Amino acid sequence: MAALDPAVLCDAERCVTEGLFEDAWVILENLPPETTSSMEADRLRLRCCSELEAWKAGIEIASTFATHADPIEREAAAEFFIALANFLNSGGQA
């Protein structure tokens, strides 16, 4: 797998930090195919899923992260599932 371009990742991370989740999503979705499944990109993508209510895509990523050995991925999964639970508790449908 090719390395993820740090400048692209930085740009997507900046968008997430600034609350520009749709912009970050577009950047992440336009990554070259060989870099789209990097952990760094998936963590940002998962954050976007929560904010954009892209629950099905988020469940897919978070389910993988939930069983990952790295605490950073498990924490990202937990945060996503908490956001999903709050959404469902408020009457939303995933």
Residues 58-63 have a mean pLDDT of 96
| Inside any domain, residue 1 | no
What interhelical angle do 39-52 and 71-89 show, nearest 10?
A: 10
Mean pLDDT, residues 4-17 taken together: 88
In this structure, is residue 25 part of a structural domain? yes
How many percent of the chain have pLDDT more than 90?
Answer: 67
Distance CA 22, CA 76 (A): 19
Residue 22 maps to a domain: yes
Tell which wins on pLDDT, 7 or 87. Answer: 87
What is the mean pLDDT of the segment spanning 30-58? 88
Percentage with pLDDT > 70 across the chain: 90
pLDDT of residue 36: 58
Q: Give the count of domains, the chain.
A: 1
CATH of residue 48: 1.25.40
- Residue 67 located in a structural domain: yes
The pTM of the full predicted model, rounded to 2 decimals, is: 0.85
Q: Is residue 94 part of a domain?
A: no
C-beta separation of 31 from 61 below 8 A = no
Range of the domain at 71: 6-89
The confidence score (pLDDT) of residue 22 equals 97
